[in-house]
Amino acid sequence: MNQWVNRRDLFVIVGASGDLASRKLLPALYRLSHDVPADKRFRILGVATDSERNDEAFRQKILKEADELAGVKIDQKWLDETLFYQSIGHGGPDEYHALAARVAALEKSQQLSGNRVFYLALPPTIFPLSITRLGEAGLNQSDGWTRLVIEKPFGRDAESAEALNRLVHKYFEEKQVYRIDHYLGKETVQNLLVFRFANSLFEPLWNRDRVESVEIVVAESLGIEHRGRYYDTAGALRDMIQNHLTQLLTLTAMEPPASFEADAIQHEKVKVLKSIRPIGPGDVVFGQYARGEIDGKPVPSYRQEPDVAPDSHTETFVAMRLRISNWRWQGVPFYLRTGKRLPSRVSRILVNFRCPPVSLFQPFACSSLHPNALMITIQPDEGFDVQFEVKTPGLPFRVVTQNLHFRYSEAFEPSPEAYETLLLDVLLGDATQFVRDDWVEASWRLYTPILETPPTIALYPAGNWGPKEAERLSASPLLGNAAAS
């Protein structure tokens, strides 16, 4: 991929002192460009509040933290040639005008193209101020193109998302804005469109006539990992359902786009959201993990985690049933499930096909045939499995379920990291895997009523597949059946 970064752009990371920059962004940019000659390589400007730090001190910080946090050993020569630092102090107007002057000076001294990326690696509460300051300092435009990358969560509900979009559009055109969701950079997610629309075997079956149900599972064995202050004000619906799982839902359920272009694909994804019926109280279960065991080791309850209120009612698990009222999916339930402190880490889409209308094999004690299923694994082992029924050799007559499987790791060289893929897309101006303003607002409008009147929290022991109350909102009797298959 390095041939595609043979360019002289400027990548500005606002919030470069945080974990995201050291753990994900700078390692990804290094992998993209480490073997590109310095005179043809982009430059990176890290921006943070530390006024005591300079270029060299920042390079040494990244050298150490990229190794410790991401296991990436960045070459010192690459750092010296590529990475620079600018303080914005308390983030006032003068500091951002100084940033604008530093950007212009770097572009001149490094003979850059005038193309700029501004990546907001910041807590969401700081987005409005940073966007305003960038716009007021004139950093929303340049001699080339300017692109703004914003991390999730984009808003907390429908009202705040709409307000943030209005602020963004005050200074940036929508075509300049890249709302990033790292899930969309995973190879299996990117391959969903190819899988569906390039294979005539599957697309004719992808409808209410052949599909019984669809289940989308994102399970995590970890807890909140020192993010208590953030997580206790967010919860699983804001942190996972509104973005990651809903992106997977719209990619799975969308109609064929008019073309393989960003706007055409985004248009079909938004149509799915607008076709979802209002979610009723009986369609949602919230859970919160209690004390339990993971891999044989005791773990505390959510309320015992650092920076979590001892009487917190924040959900760490959500099970949900959605109904899409359109010609393709009418009557087919879509189940979304996510949770922390579950038995294993897995992200999968399970498409359950309908059983044959009549079983021919009851005389042979084969009345309990399993329906065919397609399992799309997003992590940890990316690939596809098709489950089907076959007869075992010999007597007695017996039918068992077998798999046809495909794994990226078996067919290809190691896939690039999700951030590596998405940052390259930003540099190339490809917005296909990013989130458009109307998608964000439609998604929040769908889930905000639940946030305004949340269901009662059901406790579940850490190491289990969620509360028992959630079993009715599943294509399988238990979440574990889908996750462990």
Catalytic residue ranges:
244
Place of tokens 């149900």: 213
Q: Is the peptide bond before 123 cis (omega within 30 degrees of 0)?
A: no
**3-class SS at 391?**
strand
What is the full DSSP assignment across 220-239?
-SS--TT-HHHHTTT-HIII
Output phi, psi for 320, to 5 deg.
-150, 145
Report yes or no: 15 and 122 within 8 Å, Cβ to Cβ: yes
Cβ neighbours of residue 131 under 8 Å, at least 6 residues apart? 120, 148, 167, 168, 171, 172
- Whole-angstrom Cα distance, residue 287 to residue 315? 5
- Whole-angstrom Cα distance, residue 2 to residue 6? 7
**3-class SS at 330?**
coil
CA distances from 19 to 62, 122, 225, 423 (A): 10, 10, 13, 17
**H or E, element range at 146:** strand 146-151
Positive/negative CA dihedral, 452, 453, 459, 460:
negative
CA-based nearest residue to 219, from 316, 380, 342: 342
477 residue type, one letter: P
- Whole-angstrom Cα distance, residue 126 to residue 120? 9
Around Cβ 148, how many Cβ atoms within 10 Å?
25
- Whole-angstrom Cα distance, residue 369 to residue 356? 9
- Whole-angstrom Cα distance, residue 13 to residue 85? 10
CA-based nearest residue to 119, from 39, 25, 195: 25
Cβ neighbours of residue 119 under 8 Å, at least 6 residues apart? 11, 12, 13, 14, 25, 149
